Structure 1
Amino acid sequence: MSDFDPDATIISVLTDRAAIADPYPRYRALREHAPIHRMAIAKMWIVSCFDDARAVLRDPRCGNPSPEMFEQGRAGIDGSMRRARSRESLSILQLNPPDHGRIRGLVARAFTPRRVEKLRPEVEAIADQLLDAMGGSGDFVSGLAFPLPANVISALVGVPEEDREFLRPLIGDLTVGIEPSASDDEIAQADAAGATMREYLADLVAARRSDPGDDLLSVLIHANEDGDQLTENEILINTLLIYAAGFETTTHLIGNMFRAFVANPAQLDRVRADRSLIPGAVEEVLRYDPPVQLDGRYLHESMEIGGHVIAQGDSIITLIGAVNRDPADFENPASFDVGRTETQTLSFGSGIHYCLGAALARLEGQVVLGKLLDRYETWEIVGEPTWRPRITLRGVEHMEVSLS
């Protein structure tokens, strides 16, 4: 395709509402004609093939900017992070080794399989309560897909029920700041939301120090490994990250799951007939239509990827939605198949920044799918969903449904 323009295609995916609603044809064109592409307007490379994307995410030369560089850019979700000048201001997503390993080791204690599995009864109870309130119709996002993970992550962190409504709009403002297309006004709004969230969490940390509970915040406060503990700032920053990430990513997983099954009723019938397919079905949703579409790295050393030499200081964006449909790694990649055996996707990242909350997101997706199967034979979308105008965390804002 001699007239194919990779830059224009990439920009449309980042900014055009129609492309955001269905980026996959553009991803396919990029993968076929420019699987590794250097943008003309920035020192940025775009990777849309699976093996090279996985190599980037796993290579220790591909990390994050230093604190000094970080504060000059727009990386991260909170402007106060950019203004800070010490490594302890950076969450585990922005740190490089050895700092990353130290903090991740302490934070990971809050996400052990046992701790996550203990949440299953609570997730089931929340799902039942929300589905009861929906009564079989209404906006699927505001009725179920958003409040379920919001309440689950709030319970996990230890946010009291009476404070959750106050925090929910702040999370929406905060996550806009990670979008490549975010405007200066949106960045300022994200900054303000981050500052408010940190003030709130500082008060909550103080309360938990004097009265610990069985929640993530208490675990982080008292996490100790060979005498090493998280500082106050590290607790605040990483709790903010975990709380924000626990909202929108799983919201979009649940929304994308419902849309995928409505569009593929034969696959819904398969899962209904064999509930053992539920875990694999959630994995297939994560591959087929992942909530996180982009993952970025910064090169600390020059390296060669797929025959291209990428210079130190350049950035690499891996298109997760594109690489998860690479035909070199997935048979019939554009098909939604709940029995798929190729399940090694990059939906939760790879390497040292693999998502700590992956087990929790999977649990929530499995519970919701099981509850919907228990209650309803017929799943329908009424009208056209309204898409969130963002690509990094991609999903619908509103989706009217009918369940019977």
Structure 2
Amino acid sequence: MTATEQQLTEPLMGPAEALSELFTPAGKHNPHPLYDALWELGPVIPLGPSGTLVLGYDEICTALRDPRFLVTDAEVHTATGMIDHSSWQCFTKIMMFSNSPDHERMRRFSRWAYSPGQVAERRHLAVKAAERWTARLADLEDGGPLDLVEAFATRVPISVTGEMLGIPEADRMALRTAITAATTAFEPIFDRDELLPADAGMDLLVDYLDDLVRERRRQPGDDVVSVMVRDRDATGALSEEELVAGLVMFLIAGVQSPSDLIGTMVRLALRHPAEGRGMTTDDDLVSAFVTETLRYDPPNHVLTRAAGTDVDFYGHRVAAGSRALLVLAAANRDPRRFTDPATFDITRRDNRPLSFGLGPHYCLGAAFARMQAETAVPVLLRRFPRMALAGLPTYRDQLVTRGFARMDVTLTP
């Protein structure tokens, strides 16, 4: 570990300072020392009448299973005025931000697309995309550094998900930019103008998917959009707006988390070269590496819940209507649950990170995201066994959905 990296991993402040720093650009860039500092206040931290911060593994498991803690749905976002923004107008029409009974209805409709059989069938798309983009990297490599995020980590998921949805290749990268912009709506908002990039990204995605739905209704194919249009028209299980919103979320979830997971896995493979080499020949090691990456530095750091009623939560009162910020990334390093939690260790037993949630809202796309990363990273490492970082990677200014903005590498084969 370099001196700079050592400095970035050492807790340097108290809990009050850590809390004020957490959602600043610097805090988002390196939040783990802040989580460590916040642990001094315990696994559940009251933030006043409007919120509670939850860091503990068992505590977050309880909250995610407790029906009194609701997802922030249309009613919540209407009360806060966020529903006036097109980003949240779309997000509140998907199962991720819906409570019973709408959540179950939407989940039943979409479950087939994320089944183990469907994920297995799509593996060949991930292999094809990974091999294609590693070959393209070899063509581009001239001895100088290149950005692996833009050239590989982003390209594989947008190729796989775009192919599944029947999106022409010429349209995919413009949509990729809109996806990242839309996810900024998940961040805590201190000024409504901060939602403008998310709104612009969402407007592009909604318009594009709405047009694609109409096209597939006129001329169906064998892609996911065609199947969902057919099922929706046959059953009436979703409204037209819910169908389009669900496809928008399918695109976002199929691209953003896998892209961030691939980037982080590559970074960790370069820091742990023995394990990285092992991934090129051992499928079990690949699976363990993905799981430990999801624990050590997941692509999703925070989930938000709203208390539907007053809740006595581990000795703290969470008032009805207040928010509970569930810090998954801190729970994944809970010292009560994980031995030596700040150490990356793929040999951990009973390694069950909370990175894709838990309970009724467990992410349907978790297996799909894992499959893309498990497939893509070994292909890259086999092709470029001497790949090396060309400077410290930089992160996007996001914490809820966290990943690299840029990671320069050299690709000596």
* TM-score in terms of structure 2 length: 0.89
* Distance in 1 separating the partners of 2:92 and 2:21: 33
Task: Report the counterpart of residue 324 of structure 1 in structure 2.
Answer: 332
* Distance in 2 separating the partners of 1:105 and 1:217: 16
Report the more deviating stretch, 317-326 or 247-256. Answer: 247-256
Report the more deviating stretch, 118-127 or 182-191. Answer: 182-191
Deviations 1:45-68 (Å, cap 9, x if unpaired)?
111110001111111111124533
Q: Name the SS for the 2:156 alignment partner.
A: helix
Task: Report the counterpart of residue 108 of structure 2 in structure 1.
Answer: 105
Deviations 1:14-57 (Å, cap 9, x if unpaired)?
1132x3232112112222433211224x6111111100011111
1:122 aligned onto 2:130? no
1:212 aligned onto 2:224? no
Checking the alignment, whether the CA contact within 8 Å between 1:7 and 1:39 is kept in structure 2 is no
Task: Report the counterpart of residue 79 of structure 1 in structure 2.
Answer: 85
* Distance in 1 separating the partners of 2:192 and 2:313: 33
Task: Report the counterpart of residue 11 of structure 1 in structure 2.
Answer: 20
Amino acid at match of 2:22: V
Q: Name the SS for the 2:96 alignment partner.
A: coil
* Distance in 1 separating the partners of 2:320 and 2:24: 28
1:94/1:139 CA distance change after superposition, 3 Å: same
Q: 2:57 aligns with which of 22, 44, 50?
A: 50
* Distance in 1 separating the partners of 2:282 and 2:102: 45
* Distance in 1 separating the partners of 2:391 and 2:14: 34
* Distance in 1 separating the partners of 2:88 and 2:388: 44
Figure out how many residues of one structure are paired with residues of the other and give that number.
396
Q: 2:74 aligns with which of 38, 51, 67?
A: 67
CA shift for structure 1 position 184:
2.8
* Distance in 1 separating the partners of 2:39 and 2:358: 20
Amino acid at match of 1:13: L
CA shift for structure 1 position 182:
6.3
Deviations 1:48-98 (Å, cap 9, x if unpaired)?
11000111111111112453332243768x9236568xxx96211111011
1:156 aligned onto 2:156? no
Deviations 1:302-353 (Å, cap 9, x if unpaired)?
2222221211111101111110011211122111112222221111011111
Q: Name the SS for the 2:80 alignment partner.
A: coil
1:328/1:237 CA distance change after superposition, 3 Å: same
CA shift for structure 1 position 287:
0.8
1:298/1:380 CA distance change after superposition, 3 Å: same
* Distance in 2 separating the partners of 1:143 and 1:229: 39
Task: Report the counterpart of residue 178 of structure 1 in structure 2.
Answer: 186
Cα RMSD over matched residues? 2.4
1:71/1:272 CA distance change after superposition, 3 Å: same
CA shift for structure 1 position 189:
2.5
1:255-404 matched pairs, under 5 angstroms: 255-272=263-280, 274-403=282-411, 404=413
Task: Report the counterpart of residue 39 of structure 1 in structure 2.
Answer: 47
Task: Report the counterpart of residue 198 of structure 2 in structure 1.
Answer: 190
Checking the alignment, whether the CA contact within 8 Å between 2:51 and 2:318 is kept in structure 1 is no
* Distance in 2 separating the partners of 1:335 and 1:244: 30
CA shift for structure 1 position 359:
1.0
Unaligned 5+ runs, structure 1? none
CA shift for structure 1 position 7:
4.5
Amino acid at match of 1:123: A
Q: 1:90 aligns with which of 89, 93, 98?
A: 93
1:73/1:134 CA distance change after superposition, 3 Å: farther
* TM-score in terms of structure 1 length: 0.91
Deviations 1:160-218 (Å, cap 9, x if unpaired)?
22221332222222111211146433312222322232122111101111222222212
* Distance in 1 separating the partners of 2:39 and 2:309: 25
Checking the alignment, whether the CA contact within 8 Å between 1:75 and 1:178 is kept in structure 2 is no
Amino acid at match of 1:60: P
Checking the alignment, whether the CA contact within 8 Å between 1:6 and 1:37 is kept in structure 2 is no
Report the more deviating stretch, 385-394 or 155-164. Answer: 155-164
1:332/1:74 CA distance change after superposition, 3 Å: farther
Checking the alignment, whether the CA contact within 8 Å between 2:288 and 2:347 is kept in structure 1 is yes
Q: Name the SS for the 1:223 alignment partner.
A: helix
Task: Report the counterpart of residue 247 of structure 2 in structure 1.
Answer: 239
* Distance in 1 separating the partners of 2:281 and 2:235: 52
Q: Name the SS for the 1:163 alignment partner.
A: helix
Unaligned 5+ runs, structure 2? 1-11
1:330/1:226 CA distance change after superposition, 3 Å: farther
Amino acid at match of 2:151: G
